[in-house]
């Protein structure tokens, strides 16, 4: 009786430990989402147009997942997702180029017939021009009232002459 109970408990524990389907569906057991490759969305495919060069395609789609040395004119993008231990879902897109321009798309996505233009999130800000008429020294001395209104601000090195009225006001 004791040997049969031990054998039954050993068999039950081995079954529970080795069977992943039982462990994956137990309540409270966490399993992570496994994503691999480039994320591919229909909106990305809709932005592709015939005649785009490789840099434009790379800006939209990112770097290709596989770069085959035997097929330089073919870029493959793969995305694999296995959420919470469920069955793996895989999406694939191949882009074909001739003379550095896209000529074909093959895979799980089809290009949309409607042109989609994404609204830009960037804003333009007008910055007012800076007042560069006075030098820093002129601005500092102007705060203390040392500059006359007749003094010109744009001078060359040969024209610089000390103003006697300013020198008379200095304490040293």
Give the CATH number, domain containing residue 60.
Answer: 3.30.1450
Q: Which domain holds residue 48?
A: 31-107
**3-state class (DSSP) for residue 28:** coil
State mean pLDDT over 63-80: 85
Select the highest-mean-pLDDT range: 14-28, 35-49, 121-135, 136-150: 35-49
Do the domain assignments include residue 157? no
pTM: 0.50
Q: What is the pLDDT of residues 28-71, one digit of tens each?
A: 777 777 788 888 888 888 888 888 999 999 999 998 887 778 88
Segment (H or E) for 128: none
Do the domain assignments include residue 50? yes
């Amino acid at each position: 009786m004791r040997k049969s109970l031990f054998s039954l408990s050993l068999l039950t524990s081995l079954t529970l430990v080795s069977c992943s389907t039982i462990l994956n569906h137990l309540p409270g057991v966490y399993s992570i989402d496994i994503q691999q490759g480039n994320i591919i969305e229909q909106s990305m495919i809709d932005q592709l147009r015939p005649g785009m060069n490789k840099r434009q395609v790379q800006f939209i789609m990112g770097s290709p997942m596989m770069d085959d040395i035997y097929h330089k004119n073919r870029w493959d993008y793969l995305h694999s997702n296995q959420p919470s231990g469920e069955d793996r879902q895989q999406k694939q897109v191949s882009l074909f180029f001739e003379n550095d321009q896209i000529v074909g798309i093959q895979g799980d996505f089809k290009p949309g017939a409607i042109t989609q233009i994404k609204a830009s999130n960037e804003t333009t800000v007008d910055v007012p021009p800076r007042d560069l008429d006075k030098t820093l020294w002129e601005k500092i001395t102007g705060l203390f009232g040392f500059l006359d209104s007749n003094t010109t601000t744009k001078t060359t090195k040969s024209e610089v002459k000390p103003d006697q009225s300013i020198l008379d006001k200095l304490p040293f």
